[in-house]
Amino acid sequence: MKDLSSAPERLVELTEISDQPGPYCMSFRFDLEPLKRSINKFGLIHRPLVIENGKYKKEAIIGFRRVLALKSLKWDRAPMKVLSGDELSPSDLLLLNLYDNLSSRSFNDVEKGMILNRLKPHFSGEEIRKEYMPLLGLPSNESTRILYEKLEELDLALRTSCADGDLPLKTIKALLEMDPDSRATLFQWIKDLKLNFNQQMLFVENTIDISNREATSILQVLQEKPLLNIREDQNSNNPQKAKRSLSYLRRRRFPLLTRSEETFKKTISSLGLPERVKISHPPFFENPDYRLEILFRDGKMLGETVKKLSQLNDLEGIGDPWEEEA
């Protein structure tokens, strides 16, 4: 590749440079303010590299964000390295920008997707997997490549959340498999309820499962009155709404399990257990052993608690709750 250290430097009119992200751009969701502060204080330390694009304006290869910062600071012109359009091939220009970025910053997930999409016309799938995905810190497999490439197709709000790390890739992956309306509605719920990562997955998974099982649409599930009532409840805060929505969906998705949990809870609360005594069931009742927990401060307290426990009449009623129902 050509040595660019000796590329000619010129004062370039900023109006000549496109401010739209071009085919070499790999920046999304960036904050210009720190850059503007730096330019204000010390001037333009690193020169952007632009190519003359014959037909239209000049295109920023390296330093797209610096160009935007300069424009925002109302500079008219700035010193830049200028290449003529035919000096480097498009793939070289792309790699130039990639390696320059790699040396100075890390990419968010949307940017990684942009890079993979821009590499696609120039390199084989195998080259992208083997050479470039590891550079981006991605596992070299086809399904990851496809997932990241699709991120650029998401609408702006979703892309922004993804780039900001508000949505984990697991959630994005599930959302990408839906039609755009369902995706947008589910995303709105996630945002409105401010669900954490774990809650997002449970919300999405259970909604999809309910819609599949009942052969109804995701939109219909999310428009069920009890669910809407929870979201619109003025007396609850977001964490409460999140918990109740998830609980509602869980009850719909796992009717037998939730019924068993409720029956068990009812049985235990009717026992009148001594204070500081707790009986719990194993997760999902899969392990056959139930758990008794006694908190005590000394042997005397323990003895008294055990005595009270032994005097309870209905302990034999504790068991697998579905057998009680049968």
Partner 1 sequence: MANPPLKRVLVEEGADRFPSVSRILKRIEGIPVERVSDWEKGKASGPLSMDKTSLRLISFPGEFLKPCPGTKGYICCGYQILNVGTNCPFDCSYCILQAYFNQPSLRIFVNLEEKLHQIAEVLDRHPDRIFRIGTGEFTDSLALDPIAGWSHVLIPFISERNNAVLELKTKTNQVEGLFSFPQRNRIVISWSLNSPSIASREEHGAPGIRKRLEAAKMCQQEGYSVGFHFDPLVHIPGWEEEYKRTLEMMDKLIDPNGIVWLSMGGLRYMPALKSIIRKRHPKSRILLGEFVPGLDGKMRYFKPIRIQMYGFMAEMLRKWHEDLGLYLCMESHDVWEKKSWVVPKEF
The binding site for partner 1 (CB under 8 A) comprises 126, 141-143, 146, 173-174, 177, 209, 212-213, 253-257, 260, 283-288, 320, 322-323
Nearer to partner 1, 30 or 248 (CB): 248
First-to-last CA distance in the chain?
A: 77
CB of 253 to partner 1, least distance (A): 8
CB of 286 to partner 1, least distance (A): 6
Distance CA 88, CA 50 (A): 12
User: What minimum distance in Å lies between the beta carbon of 224 and partner 1?
Assistant: 18
Q: How far is the CB of 234 from partner 1 (least distance, A)?
A: 34
Query: In sequence order, what DSSP letters do the residues of 300-324 get, joined into one string?
Result: HHHHHHHHHHHT-S-GGG-S-HHHH
Give the nearest distance from C-beta 214 to partner 1 in angstroms: 9
Handedness of CA 235, 236, 241, 245 (dihedral sign): negative
Q: φ, ψ for residue 106 (rounded to 5)?
A: -105, 160
Q: Which residues contact residue 124 at a Cβ distance below 8 angstroms, ignoring those fewer than 6 apart?
A: none
- By CB atoms closer than 10 A (0-12, 13-18, 19+), residue 196 is middle
